[in-house]
Amino acid sequence: MSSTEETLDQPLLRVTNLAKSYGGNAACRDVSFDLWPGEILAVVGESGSGKTTLLKCISAQLACDDGRIEYLMRDGILRDIHGLSEAERRFLMRTDWGFVHQNPRDGLRMRVSAGANIAERMIAVGGRNYGKIRGTAENWMDQVELDPGRVDHQPGTFSGGMQQRLQIARNLVTHPRLVFMDEPTGGLDVSVQARLLDLLRSLVSKLQLSAVLVTHDLAVARLLSHRIMVMQGGEVIETGLTDQVLDDPQHPYSQMLVSSILPV
Ligand SMILES: Nc1ncnc2c1ncn2[C@@H]1O[C@H](COP(=O)(O)OP(=O)(O)OP(=O)(O)O)[C@@H](O)[C@H]1O
Ligand SMILES: [Mg+2]
């Protein structure tokens, strides 16, 4: 079998029996799932159900108490991320993975220019040519519908929606294979949300991104995801294709979630 065929057989991310507690309170219990290349998985559930904790554990920002998190490295081998060296983990975080925070201030460097925010990951992977880096930064600003003429402006001078788009450009510039997104449209007003969703939708399809997307907004999950995982009290209670879960939820909690949030 060729290595390409082997890669197609394997998930990009495999999570097995993940658990995480804070001082005796379980935030995630026995969470298992596979994410396949090119797939967008939405993690939904009420506030406090463990979504952010799960996302931080699987993106190696938070140590979990139990379980395995395996990632398909570029060489086609599925490796436990806890067994990686610090250098390997840093490489993943700077290149292969992107992380879009709910609050853009957590994902941007506010004291440097928009261009420098985008350039940082390019430089981390060896970019040295100033003119080329600046040109790529401007091109990415254009792709996320920001005025490239503002490349030297600091993020603090941008609106919330613009900051979120800058955060997305900063993450996507190195063409990550996997993007973690925590409520990417949260905290924005409705019209800005809709525009950002459109943009995200076209970028994920253009770049064939794989993503784990945390949201409490089922409309966002409907628009962006292929599959949905419903969490309650730190546990996965239902998982399935997005349309199936939203149109015909099986678990009483998912039924309640769907009927209370989506207009009928
Ligand atoms: N740093 C922390 N220290 C102690 N408890 C925490 C911490 N972070 C989260 N928790 C608790 O873990 C549980 C899950 O929280 P988490 O932030 O993962 O939920 P969430 O689903 O992301 O909620 P939201 O939709 O409000 O963002 C909650 O009971 C929360 O109070
Ligand atoms: Mg959260």
Ligand 1 binding pocket includes 50 (Cβ within 6 Å): yes
Whether 48 is in the pocket of ligand 1, judged by its Cβ within 6 Å, is yes
Identify which of 47, 57, 181 to mutate to test ligand 1's pocket (most ligand atoms within 8 A of the CB). 47
pLDDT number for residue 195: 86
Place of tokens 């159900």: 49
Three-class DSSP category at 242: helix
pLDDT digits (tens, 9 = 90+) for 121-180: 999 888 889 999 999 999 999 999 999 999 999 999 999 999 999 999 999 999 999 999
Q: Is the CB of 260 under 6 A from ligand 1?
A: no
Q: From the DSSP assignment, how many helices (H) and strands (E) are in the chain? A: 11, 10
Which strands make up the sheet holding 210-214, listed edge to edge? 97-100, 178-182, 210-214, 40-44, 227-232, 235-241
Buried b (16+ CB within 10 A) or exposed e, 22-50: eeeebbbbebebebebebbbbbbbbeebb
Please name every residue paired with 18 in a beta bridge, in sequence order, or none if there are none: 31
**Residue 7 pLDDT:** 53
pLDDT tens-digit profile of 85-105?
A: 999 998 899 889 999 998 999
Rounded to two decimals, the pTM is 0.92
Can you tell me the distance from the alpha carbon of 109 to that of 56, in angstroms, rounded to the nearest whole number? 19
183 conformational bin, left if phi > 0, alpha if psi -120 to 50, beta if neither: left
Q: What digits encode the pLDDT tens for the residues 48-77?
A: 999 999 999 999 999 999 999 999 999 999
> Quick one: pLDDT band at residue 189, thresholds 50, 70, 90?
confident
The finding on whether 101 has its CB within 6 A of some atom of ligand 1 is no
Q: Please, are residues 46 and 216 in contact by the beta-carbon 8 Å criterion?
A: yes
Q: What CATH number should be reported for the domain whose range is 3-109+178-261?
A: 3.40.50.300
* Site to substitute for ligand 1 among 21, 46, 52, most atoms within 8 A of C-beta: 52
Do 185 and 222 form a contact (C-beta atoms < 8 A)? Answer: no
pLDDT of 261: 59
Please name the residue that has the structure tokens 């990686």: 84
